[in-house]
Structure 1
Amino acid sequence: MDHFPGDDIENVFKWGRQIHRLNCCKDRLLERHLEPYDITAAQFKVMLLMKREGLATSTELCRSLGLDSGAMSRMLDRLENKKMIKRVRCTTDRRLFHLELTAQGQEFCGQIPLIAVNAFNELLQPFTPAEFNEFDRMLTKLLVHSGF
């Protein structure tokens, strides 16, 4: 079903901007909740994927987050400097490194659920329970339709 006539580029741009702004708002809220930990939203996502999804290589993280390898290398450097992760050389291929959470990284990951819950509760606060459920249903429908 088409929701926009072929010449309605203004409304398409409006929808795109709103989706982008909501994502930016989510990241700003998350960053505010992460300030005490000196972790950015992007670094938080890397730590979350390492802990919850078991991703252990830069390539896996790049693929999952849609980042280029240079940006990921710089982010991993910062996380390593913060003693959150460490790079471990692969024993079977010395060109490769695996990523591991340090003890400090594991400790931070224990805080992830509370940080995420607090940030998302703040973001979604204007919704009634029924609106929240409907928003969840519609987001899921869009993502399933898009192949995610």
Structure 2
Amino acid sequence: MYLNNLAPRGRSRMVKHEQEFLNNIQSIMLSISRKLRPVLEKHLQPYGITPPQFNMMFTLEREGACRVTHLADIINVKPSAITVIMDRLIERQLVLRYHSEVDRRVVMMELSENGKQVLAKMMQSYRQIMGQYFAQFTQDELAAFLELFQKLDAVITTTKIDFEQGEK
């Protein structure tokens, strides 16, 4: 493997090219994120939706009705942060909040029918925008891109990092 010289314990003993490799990955990921954020914001503006609200709606569409705590885990935020975002979506009748029939202490969230329709419109136009970028790639490149991102997601999900052992 390319980064085999990374020491899993104590101080990292990376050679210079490995450091540059990791720096390049971080730099390009930040660059892509910075460039896509204004595209997403402009795309969402006609709907009066912010990127965090869009992400929440997208997650609810994929997950279906779910507990607030589960939603917080998925998007890696505190439940209180979800409440602020959800309150605005509930006001606009895009999301429903209710207590579980099984356990009244559990708060559930799901997209309303109106929310599903609005999200479908946003997704259709967003796919057109993103499609313009991805049209520059071959099917093989797109498949490899997806496979690598899925693998990275799985590795990040399953790998436990001990931050106490890192360099100080």
Is the 1:50–1:56 Cα contact (8 Å) retained in structure 2?
Answer: yes
Hey, which bits of structure 1, 4+ residues long, moved more than 4 A? 144-148
1:97 is the counterpart of 2:107: yes
* CA distance in structure 1 between the partners assigned to 2:124 and 2:104 by the alignment: 38
1:2 is the counterpart of 2:6: no
Q: 5+ residue gaps in structure 1? A: none
Q: TM-score, normalised by structure 1?
A: 0.77
3-state SS of paired residue (1:78): helix
Q: TM-score, normalised by structure 2?
A: 0.70
TM-aligned CA distance change 1:91 to 1:55, over 3 Å: closer
Name the residue aligned to 1:116. 126
Larger radius of gyration: 2
Greater Cα offset, 50-59 or 33-42: 50-59
The count of aligned residue pairs is: 148
Greater Cα offset, 16-25 or 122-131: 122-131
One-letter amino acid of the structure 1 residue matched with residue 2 of structure 2:
D
What are the superposed Cα offsets for residues 82-136 of structure 1, whole Å, 9 maximum, x if unpaired?
2211211234433322113233213213324413312321343443445334433
CA RMSD of aligned residues (A): 2.8
Is the 1:58–1:72 Cα contact (8 Å) retained in structure 2?
Answer: yes
- Equivalent position to 2:30, from 12, 17, 20: 20
Identity of aligned residues (%): 24
* CA distance in structure 2 between the partners assigned to 1:26 and 1:55 by the alignment: 28
Greater Cα offset, 135-144 or 103-112: 135-144
Q: 5+ residue gaps in structure 2? A: 6-13, 159-168
